[in-house]
Chain A
Amino acid sequence: MYDVVIIGAGVTGCAVARELSRYDLKICVVERAEDVCCGTSKANSAIIHAGYDAVPGSLKAKLNVEGNEMMDDLVRDLDFPFRRNGSLVVMFEGDDRAKLEELLERGIKNGVKELRIIEKEELHRMEPNLADDAVAALYAPTAGIVCPFNMTIAFAENAYANGVEFKLNTEVKDIKKQADCYEIEAVKHEAFEPEEAVAIKTKTVVNAAGAYSDLIHNMVSADKHTIKPRRGCYFLLDKSAGSFVDKTIFTLPNEMGKGILTAPTVHGNLLVGPDAADVDLRDGVNTTAWELDKVRASACRNLKNPPLKSVITSFAGIRAHEENGDFIIEECPDAEYFFDCAGIESPGLSASPAIGKMMAEMVAKKLSAAKKDNFIATRKGILNPNKLSLEERNELIRKNPAYGNIICRCEMITEGEIIDAIKRPLGARSLDGVKRRTRAGMGRCQAGFCSPRTMEIISRECGIPLYKVTKSGGSSALIPNETLNDKYVIE
């Protein structure tokens, strides 16, 4: 029996797992996808917000500001890419200046530091590519950009190093309250394997199921939650467009969210999006022409000749919008030992470190758990050879020639990095898993050249035949098993 089962291996679940792994507890994370970071955490704006948006006094406000302040220590301890580039909420001619001032006041109430309104001249000096009629902006120097994949993976790997188990490809179907525990009924669906029923017993449950958190909650509670999946589409632009803006550029928020932003990414690309469209499907991550048009139009409105012909991909993410509007982080009032981290929409990524801490403290207290004395606080990310000196790099290649072999030519990712991504704890098992960890395949050719080579490396390192290498687990086979006369099937 586990002390804690965390449902969902997104950034929230992994942050909770990492914080809980400080305590002497038997913990398991259960995730329906084949990897961590496969839902909302993988498709979002990759922003660490300063914290001026949310209503003062709300959990969103409190945890965003706290989470933002935790980032420097986390980045040092867990080694993932983050940069405090600052953000601007830009007001254009005709916008209501009172709204900008309201945001400033909110920010001050929420405890956001260094926040100020800047006027036209300073604004255009700061961001020369803003549209000419940008007249003022709320400047938040503490806002940042992050790699949401590696942030989530860092939490997960560190939790794993501290003894947390991960059950991937495992989808929770029901949760039953027993006398002294919860029994979770789940189905395990590994690619190319028959489905298998799994029963997991645990003293406590933490629901961090993102866009599915209402379904999980409603399995144990009479007080029903309702998540309304809200889709946002994005464009990712080539690195040649990466310095088009330096700060994260927002427009004044509306009732559907913070509007369409333009931001550099920590890896030097440019990100534009998201729109907001209420959809029926919790995994409805298809882009649509009308939404992409909307994102395009917004970029063209706010920026001078945005370089949209440098788009290398578009994608969509689902926000777990809960009807009551705030995060729900509590022990479920009518289900003792069941804890919700629900309705984690924006600023969920920014708040996740603080959510993890808050939830871990609640659960540890409930279980009267003591802190371990052998907690490993640090984790090293995948070695980035570009950060080495020439001598160090050549020494590395002498020791391990795979670091001299470029696989992804657009992002200059070596075989050594890909092997590291596969071999490390909770390592990648799919093309997308490798991509999220190393960026191989994320560049301008979008894996056209490197995918066959990366597939070979996965096949070799995981000891599976090539046809069992998937894009993202499940039935996402890249080369269907069956060919004419079975001529090319290699077992």
Chain B
Amino acid sequence: MSEKINLTCIGCPLGCSIEVIKNGDEIESITGYTCKRGHDYAQTEVLAPVRTVTSTVRVKGGVNPVVAVKTRDPIPKSKIADCMKEIYDITVDAPVAIGDVLCNNIADTGVELVASANDQEL
């Protein structure tokens, strides 16, 4: 049986309203998008939604007590909570620079956790 899913595209600020008709794992139609990104977003969002997680980890010996981090690529939405649990336990030593890999495989997603800000040594 076909199912109709309404999405707001998050690819850019336009926020296009996209309608997806889906039958099980089969997408029958996607309408309302205005760019390829929108089409791809709708497809992924319906079949296997992903998110980039951004947070902070503790820094030892830095100017600030925490430094910003992000998953280098989006991870499955269902893995956000596991990802955060691992992030809570990470402590890094200063200095930290943008792009430093802090975890090779966060929450078993195969995605790296990287620093997204700099922190100097105190």
Contacts and interface: CB of A to CB of B under 8 A. Distances in A.
Interface of A: 484-485, 487-488, 490
9 contacts: A484-B88, A485-B88, A485-B89, A487-B58, A487-B88, A488-B58, A488-B65, A488-B66, A490-B65
Nearest to A483: B88
3 closest Cβ pairs, A-B complex? A485-B88, A487-B88, A484-B88
Contacts of B88: 484-485, 487
B30 to A, nearest CB: 39
Contacts of B58: 487-488
Interface in B75-93: 88-89
Interface in B39-97: 58, 65-66, 88-89
Contacts of A485: 88-89
A485 B88 CA distance: 7
Nearest to B57: A487
Contacts of A490: 65
A491 to B, nearest CB: 13
A138 to B, nearest CB: 59
B65 to A, nearest CB: 7
A488 to B, nearest CB: 7
A484 B66 CA distance: 14
Nearest to B66: A488
B99 to A, nearest CB: 23
A467 to B, nearest CB: 12
Contacts of A488: 58, 65-66
Nearest to B90: A487
Contacts of B89: 485
A484 B88 CA distance: 8
B57 to A, nearest CB: 9
A176 B5 CA distance: 75
B1 to A, nearest CB: 42
Nearest to B89: A485
Nearest to A466: B65
Given A485-B89, A488-B66, 7 more contacts: A484-B88, A485-B88, A487-B58, A487-B88, A488-B58, A488-B65, A490-B65
Contacts of B65: 488, 490
A488 B58 CA distance: 8
A348 B52 CA distance: 61
B114 to A, nearest CB: 20
A35 to B, nearest CB: 29
A257 B107 CA distance: 67
